[in-house]
Amino acid sequence: MTPRRGDDHRGDDVEQDRPMLLLGEDLPDVEDTTLEELREQEAALERRRRELAAQAERDRERAQEQLADDRREAEKQLAARQRALDETERQLVRTERRLRKQAQRVGQAGSVPRVSTSHTGARGTGRSSLLRRLGTSGSSPRTRLPLSLLVGASLAVTIGTVLTSDRADHAQVAVFEQLDQVRAELRAVIPVLDAEMIDQATGDPQPVDAQGDLPSVALANQALQGVETAPSFYADDIAQVSPTLSTTQVGDVRAATVWRDGRDALGYSVPGYEVDDAREAMLPGSTWGTVLLVGGAVLLLICALLLLRQGARVGAALTGLALVGAVVLLAQDPALDRLGGLGEAHEDADRRADDVLDLVADDIEVVLGLRSLDPSEQEGDFSWWAADYRLEALGEEDGDWARSREELGATLAGDPSPEDLRTATLAMVTAADAARQGPEAEVVEARQAVVEGSTQAPPPALLWPTLAGVVLLPWAGVAVEARRRREEQA
């Protein structure tokens, strides 16, 4: 294609405008920026913008906090100066009143200048801010706040004292004592039942009495008389003991099953949780009463601090005395007394007595062949008969009970005769029963302590006068401050 003439001229103009290239000239490199690099640069700029914005926000928050601190400090200084001015005004008013009385006595009442205050020029209105707060006008929130706190504290302390001063009645005490005593008596029957099981298993069952009962059944029936809460099916299990364990004509499995059921019936006719519920129902005190007493004491403390801050020293002092009385009332609260610890001690002693019987039951099951031992449990220092964690927990790891268990294990390791097996097993049961007497004595002691603490009420000569002082003293303080205001107004 042949170029046109005009195109040749335009090409010559472009060549004339382009600078001449000089060989060896050092020209700057041309940067070829890619899209990815542009995105990274934009991201970096965005991060920098966010950092600057966050820094500006932090600076603004610090400035606001500094301004708030400065404002609070200024308010504190202003309040301190105002209190100083109020105190000066009170002193001037008292001085004016004293001088005016002296001048009246000498007949020169008009020679005493009147005190002028910064609040108002009218006579009688130049009183302190304290008296204005405690004035008869109820429009000031700072006046209503101490009075509202006193009303709430008086109601809370009064209701809390009434609730926490109540003690267990005789019916609750009787139920707890009966259930706990019957449970202890039924525990004492279990070793008798164990001995009857051992005698039957070794071919020498015990005879029944005139009513056809074995000793364990007779003792259990006697202990359960008058206990209406015992389920009837437990009585049926206990009744099966006499016809089964008084003869050797029944099978070993049947005898062992009746022995287990009878043992469970003796342990659960009066279960431990039922005794615990009766004890908890008997324990005096009220959660709401405790909360109200604590809340009333806190309100009195706040009111005393508020009155002291406002300059009402007499009112603050009397409210502080009322606070001491509230602490005395709180000290008689059973919820903060040692009754909770006594209940835990009773429960712990009951549990340890049960632990003794549980370990004896496990040992008898081994003797009867109901529980098989691993080879590692049959001999050695850590065998079934040499050590047991329950013995250590009961403090009997080195006593007669532990030695009788070791002797029983040695007897079983040989080929004992029925007489030897009976003698060794009964010796173990007797030693365990002797070890159980310690926890049983603690159960009785804890029961008596719980009953005494639950029925012993605080002396009325201390309780009700203290309550009256707690309620009346703060109001007396307010009345004293109001009287002082009226005197300064006169």
Residue ranges of domains in the chain: 170-284+337-455
Give Cβ neighbours of residue 162 (< 8 Å, ≥ 6 apart).
289
Give Cβ neighbours of residue 150 (< 8 Å, ≥ 6 apart).
299, 303, 319, 474, 475, 478
Q: Is the pLDDT of residue 93 over 90?
A: no
Q: Is the pLDDT of residue 279 over 60?
A: yes
Distances (CA, A) of 404 to 363, 428, 431: 11, 5, 7
Average pLDDT of the residues of the chain: 81
pLDDT digits (tens, 9 = 90+) for 374-417: 777 777 667 788 767 778 888 887 789 989 998 998 898 888 89
Q: Is 370 left (phi over 0), alpha (psi -120 to 50) or beta?
A: alpha
Above pLDDT 70, what percent of the chain? Answer: 82
- Closest-CA residue to 289 (of 353, 355, 334): 334
- Closest-CA residue to 357 (of 188, 205, 482): 188
- Closest-CA residue to 89 (of 71, 115, 66): 115
Mean pLDDT over residues 293-301, rounded? 90
Mean pLDDT over residues 433-441, rounded? 94
Which residue did the predictor score with more confidence, 174 or 16? Answer: 174
> Hey, what are 304's tokens?
């005393």
Q: How confident is the model at residue 4 (pLDDT cuts 50, 70, 90)?
A: very low
Tell me how far apart the alpha carbons of residues 276 and 267 are, in angstroms, rounded to a whole number. 15
Q: How confident is the model at residue 352 (pLDDT cuts 50, 70, 90)?
A: very high
Which residue did the predictor score with more confidence, 127 or 95? Answer: 95
Sign of CA dihedral 262, 267, 273, 278: positive
- Closest-CA residue to 321 (of 143, 471, 134, 464): 471
Q: Is the pLDDT of residue 122 over 60?
A: no
Q: How confident is the model at residue 27 (pLDDT cuts 50, 70, 90)?
A: low
Mean pLDDT over residues 164-191, rounded? 88
Q: Is the pLDDT of residue 3 over 70?
A: no
Mean pLDDT over residues 453-471, rounded? 81
Q: Is the pLDDT of residue 77 over 90?
A: no
- The predicted structure's pLDDT at residue 207: 92
Q: How confident is the model at residue 131 (pLDDT cuts 50, 70, 90)?
A: very low
Above pLDDT 90, what percent of the chain? Answer: 29
- The half-sphere exposure of 317 on its side-chain side, counting CA atoms within 13 A, is 6
Q: Is the pLDDT of residue 69 over 80?
A: yes
- Closest-CA residue to 433 (of 179, 185, 190, 181): 190
Look up residue 205 and give its amino acid.
Answer: P
User: Roughly what angle, to the nearest 10 degrees, separates helices 232-239 and 252-268?
Assistant: 140
Q: Is the pLDDT of residue 455 over 90?
A: no
Q: Is the pLDDT of residue 244 over 90?
A: yes
Distances (CA, A) of 195 to 191, 223, 231, 271, 348: 6, 19, 25, 23, 27
Tell me how far apart the alpha carbons of residues 407 and 209 are, in angstroms, rounded to a whole number. 33
Tell me how far apart the alpha carbons of residues 453 and 287 are, in angstroms, rounded to a whole number. 17
- The predicted structure's pLDDT at residue 353: 93
Q: What share of the chain is helix, strand, coil (3-state, %, to 5)?
A: 75, 0, 25
- The predicted structure's pLDDT at residue 94: 77
Q: Is the pLDDT of residue 138 over 70?
A: no
Of the listed ranges 31-35, 269-273, 328-332, 478-482, the least confidently predicted one is: 31-35
Helices (H), 240-373: 241-245, 252-268, 272-282, 287-309, 313-331, 339-368
Mean pLDDT over residues 354-373, rounded? 91
Q: How confident is the model at residue 121 (pLDDT cuts 50, 70, 90)?
A: very low
Give Cβ neighbours of residue 36 (< 8 Å, ≥ 6 apart).
none
Look up residue 396 and give its amino acid.
Answer: E
Q: Taking the mean position of all CA atoms in its chain, how far away is CA 5? A: 107
If 0-12 CB within 10 Å is exposed, 13-18 middle and 19+ buried, where does residue 17 land?
exposed
Give CA angle at 53 (47, 57), nearest 5°.
145
Task: Provide the Cα torsion 301, 304, 308, 309; round to 10°.
Answer: 60
DSSP sequence for 136-198: S----HHHHHHHHHHHHHHHHHHHHHHHHT----HHHHHHHHHHHHHHHHHHHHHHHHHHHHH
